[in-house]
Amino acid sequence: MGGTPLKQIKIGIFGLGTVGGGVVEQLRENRELLKARTGTDLVILKAVVANPSKPRPFDLGPIEVSGDPNFILDDPEIDVVIELMGGVTLAKEILLRSFVSGKTVITANKALLAECAEEVFEAAYEHHALLGFEAAVAGAIPVIRVIKEGLAGDRITEVSGIINGTANYILTSMSKKGEDFQKALGKAQEKGYAEADPTFDVEGVDTAHKLLVLMCIAFGGIFDFKELYTEGITKIEPVDIEIAAGFGYVIKLLGKAKEVGGKVEGRVHPTLVPEDQMLASVDGAFNAVKLSGNFSGPIVSYGRGAGARPTASAVVADLVSLVRQRESETSPVPPLSLMSEKLKHRKLMPMAEVLSEYYLRFSVEDKVGVLAELTRVLGSHNISIASMIQRSRSEEGGPVFVVFFTHEALERDVVEALKTLDQLPFIAQPTRMIRVDPS
C-alpha cells in the first residue's frame, strides 16, 4: 500500500458464535475493500464471550478474548462495540454503558430492541449515539436502511413481511410435502433450521420482535411490544394448507403493520396470501419485506434472513456506515430517522378493531340445518360470506369440514361469532380461524 498508514478503528465484539464468526471472517476477507470504502482500517481487538476457553472454528488472529464485559466496556481505546450475544439484561447494560462512553454500537439483538425499545432508543438519542441494528431484522436484507434512507421522503403506510426463516421453512415443508407441523419441525431441527427450543420462532415471538423494530422506524415512534398481537403456526394443519391452496392461497407467518388515518395496526399471525403475490413465492429459509410509501408505492426486498455470512453482511454494512459518520464526527442519520424532539410514544390499534378477511374451518356433524345455522350466526355478527366449501372427512359418519372465506369483517365480530358457534352442539372441534390478506 505505501504512504501514511490508515487510521485504525478499534472494535470490541460481544459474542463469537455463528454471526460473530461471520463478522471476524468478513473483516478479514474484505479488509482491503473496506479500507477503500471507509478510509480506515477496521480491526477487532477484543472479544467477550461466555466461555473464553471454548475452541472456535475460525482463526481469531490478534483478537484477545475475555469473559468479563469490562474488558471491552472499560477500555477507552475501543471505538466500536458489536453486540451479538443475544439475551436482554446484560446486552442492555452493554448498550447503555457504550452510549455513555461515546462508543459506536452495532447490535443484532431484536429481543432487546423490541422489549426495551423505549429505554434503548431514548438513551441512544440522549447521548447522540451512533447505533446500528440492521442485522436485527431479516439478515442480509437492508430493510432498515430502505426505511430510513430509501424511503426517507415518504410517509410509510405499510410494513409487512416474512421475517422468520424457521417458521417459513416449516410452512414451506408442510405445503410442499404435505407434512404435519410436528414432522416438519423435526426435520427443520435435524437440518439446523430450527433450534432445540423453537418456541420463539414457531410462536411468532421472533417475528413480533422484528416487526416492532421496523414499526418504530417506519411510523416514527416507540411502540409497546406487549400491545402487539402475536400468534404462531403450531395450530396450522395440513388440511388448512390444502384447502387454502385449492382457493389459490399459500399460508405464511406474516408480520404486518399499517398506518391508516393516524391509527397504527400491527399484528403477527398465520395468513392466507394469494399465490400470485411476491410474498407467496418466498420459500424455505428466505425472508422478504414489503414496504409501502405514499409516493414510492410498494417495494419488496428479498434475501437470506439468517446464517453466519448474511447476518455478518448486515453487521459490517452498519460498521461501514457508522464509521463513515463517526469519522466525520456527525450523525446525519438519527437512530430512528426522526430528529429527537419529534420522537413520541405511540399506541397500537387494539386487535378487536382490525378489519380483515377470514378463513373459517368448522368441524361439524353432517346433518340437516347446520349450514343454515352457521350462516345465520355469522350474519347476525355482520360477517358476510365470500365463498364456501364442504368436505367429508375420510371416516364414514365422522364430522365434516365446512370452510367459509368471509368478506372483510371486524376482528371483534369474528371472535364473538366463534365464541357463540363453538358452543353449539353440532360443532365437533374448535373452529380454525386464519386471517386472509388479499393485498
18 binds a copy of itself (CB under 8 A): no
**Known active-site residue 210:** yes
Nearest distance from residue 280's CB to a copy of itself, in Å? 10
Select from 121-129, 151-159, 189-197, 372-380 the region that touches a copy of itself (CB under 8 A). 151-159
Which residues fall within 8 angstroms of residue 362, CB to CB, at 6 or more apart?
Answer: 374, 401, 402, 403, 404, 421, 427, 431
Cα–Cα dist 170/24, whole Å: 31
Say whether residue 360 binds a copy of itself (CB under 8 A): no
Q: Binding pattern to a copy of itself, positions 154-193, x when CB under 8 A?
A: xx--------------------------------------
All three cell numbers of 1:
500500500
- In degrees and rounded to multiples of 5, residue 429 shows phi and psi of -145, 160
Identity of the residue, 107 or 321, whose beta carbon is nearer to a copy of itself in the bound complex: 321
Q: Which is nearer to a copy of itself, 331 or 382 (CB)?
A: 331
Beta bridge partners of 160: 256, 290
Distances (CA, A) of 3 to 10, 17, 170, 213: 21, 37, 54, 43
Q: Is residue 33 a contact point for a copy of itself (CB under 8 A)?
A: yes
Look up cell 410436528; give the residue: 182
**Residue whose C-alpha is closest to residue 275's, from 256, 248, 300:** 248
Work out which of 199, 330, 380, 384 binds a copy of itself, going by CB under 8 A.
330
Q: Is there binding between residue 17 and a copy of itself (CB under 8 A)?
A: no
| ∠ Cα 393 398 403 (to 5°) | 50
Q: Whose Cβ is closer to a copy of itself: residue 110's or residue 145's?
A: 145
Return the range that interacts with a copy of itself (CB under 8 A); candidates 67-75, 89-97, 307-315, 383-391.
Answer: 307-315
Check 110, 210, 252, 258 and give the catalytic one.
Answer: 210
Minimum distance between the CB of residue 304 and a copy of itself, rounded to whole angstroms?
5
Residues sharing a CB contact under 8 Å with residue 12, sequence separation 6 or more, in sequence order:
44, 45, 46, 47, 48, 71, 72, 73, 75, 78, 80, 81, 82
Q: Is 261 left (phi over 0), alpha (psi -120 to 50) or beta?
A: left
Asked if 417 interacts with a copy of itself (CB under 8 A), we say: no
CA gap 43, 18 in Å, rounded: 19
Does 297 participate in binding a copy of itself (rule CB under 8 A)?
yes
293 binds a copy of itself (CB under 8 A): yes
- Verify binding: residue 224, a copy of itself, rule CB under 8 A: no
Q: Which of 18, 189, 234, 325 binds a copy of itself (CB under 8 A)?
A: 325
Q: Which of residues 248-287 bind a copy of itself (CB under 8 A)?
A: 278, 281
Within 13 Å, how many C-alpha atoms sit on residue 223's CB side? 30
The piece of 49-57, 153-161, 181-189, 256-264 that touches a copy of itself (CB under 8 A) is: 153-161
End-to-end CA gap in the chain: 54
Q: List residues binding a copy of itself (CB under 8 A).
A: 22, 26, 29-30, 33-34, 36-39, 134, 140-142, 145-146, 149-155, 220, 278, 281, 293-304, 307, 309-310, 312-317, 319-321, 324-325, 327-333, 337-339, 342
Residues involved in catalysis: 210
